[in-house]
Chain A
């Protein structure tokens, strides 16, 4: 299958996801309202804790609302990249669609990625909506530069690689119900140690080593520094070791993370399907 053919399939699957998303219109509207409520809650917390948290945020411009909202926007997209591949395999498996899809001449790894794309695009739209609403509520960001987009893209690629790795465990570890261990670790550590809700400075220093495990940490750091007119003071452990511009270090780490996770994700997903085809575990009814 050529690139164009694959893109056409991906486009159609994204279109299908939108159809499902907007099929139940009331739910669709409630989803959007929920996003706005989240934002209002964050704004209230930011307002209440402004004086306490602001001194700890000097590296990122000092405004908690901007700090947390930017983190949440990035996190929506990154988390979806981590979670969507596993969910896509799960949905195809439990809805008896996996054999039907895999009987076609599509590469299984591409298929998983294409099936995930719809959810990722949907989440990106929600993230944009969040951003617009946050701007209306007083979010102050400098104009979106290429470097911040690059950081986001690299972070997204790294997370998609992790997502593929986690999806492979569906068959490799037979993790077919609930959550797989990798996704669980990534989701927990990205919430706890990546600086999503609070600056890393409030955590004990050893926690900053754990922060290095997730790509979220580097994305949050780079994007906040770039968009909130941050300083170049080191925060992460790698910043202290490499002694260069923190944003450059973040980008470098994200690049390395992306390469490793995508390659591992590709081969692990391929192996997962191969094992499923060998052990007759491709579908529940095999």
Chain B
């Protein structure tokens, strides 16, 4: 059964100038803001006919460059934005017609939501408040909060305030808020953004094991291709408000990459060498220089990896370059992403 259905969703919103607190406009801020609204400053076309379905228990990832419309789409599904056109259903509930019923089925975890936890309440009290918001009795909310803190590994800090947590712990607290509601659908915007490698690993591991175990449906966005490939059953690639591709990581790799990737690290490789490499039988070459141009990292995508590897090494060495490292490997989702958005 489909947990989330998104059909032909369009969303655009007006651009207008905003004034922060303490600006020169001061107390009459609203006068100018209203004038700006009336004047109109054009629209941002955020979603242009997005459609897809997510099955129950599926982990679904949305990737794409900044401004592709990922967060807007997540907010539309999470009833934090109303789409202009189209239909969104969560567990059989139309989110536009029945927003409050739909919210009972969805947990939204935004990338900066941890900042919204109440500084005056302890972790357990914060979670109790959210438990009450989802209709639990006080005792249910209390026992649920303690149980969830244990699950996310924060039970020792239950009586601390959120400000005392590290960034990884804060993200886990955000997830805990989601788990207390026990909704069947989760929407997580960039689950590991701002976390150190260890914190990110913890959160990924947690999502991978717990979501599958509990049978939750998860839609998440990320800029880390490794994360998308590691966690997602299917991935949608968005660009400029549209979904341009959708499929499992393997399907996407097969569709875009019929070949292998050669990784080369070398010294003294200049533009003329890159031109020669491009003239070989390759699909794509990605490169970036390090140490002020002294070292180059090359990713060569080709259908004939071993022949091209030999030829590439010859070209580099014959142009007074020095080889540090070379290898042939299977393509990753990151390679797909680079091909699509090169």
Contact = CB atoms under 8 A, between A and B. Distances in A.
Partners in one complex: yes
Interface of A: 1-2, 5, 8-9, 12-13, 16, 19-20, 23, 94-107, 169, 173-181, 274, 277-280, 282, 284-286
Interface string B114-150: 0111101100010011101111111000000000000
A16 B103 CA distance: 24
Interface of B: 13-14, 16, 18-23, 25-30, 33-34, 36-37, 46, 72, 75, 78-82, 84, 100-101, 103-104, 106-108, 110, 112-113, 115-118, 120-121, 125, 128-130, 132-138, 177, 181
Given A94-B21, A105-B103, A177-B21, A277 B82 contact: yes
Contacts of B22: 177
A185 B222 CA distance: 48
A20 B121 CA distance: 9
Nearest to A180: B30
Query: Which 9 residue pairs of A and B lie closest in terms of their CB atoms, listed nearest first?
Result: A178-B27, A175-B30, A174-B33, A100-B116, A104-B133, A105-B103, A97-B116, A177-B29, A103-B108
B80 A282 contact: yes
B227 to A, nearest CB: 22
A95 B129 CA distance: 17
A285 B19 CA distance: 13
Given A175-B29, A177-B26, A179-B27, A278 B82 contact: yes
Given A100-B116, A181-B30, A8 B80 contact: no
A106 B104 CA distance: 9
Nearest to A95: B116
A147 to B, nearest CB: 36
A51 B156 CA distance: 67
A98 B75 CA distance: 14
Given A105-B100, A175-B29, 4 more contacts: A16-B129, A103-B78, A178-B29, A181-B30
Contact of A173 (B33, B81, B128): B33
Contacts of A285: 112
A9 B120 contact: no
Contacts of B128: 12
Given A107-B100, A173-B33, A177-B23, A99 B135 contact: no
Given A8-B132, A105-B133, A99 B80 contact: yes
Contacts of B121: 16, 19
B82 A103 contact: no
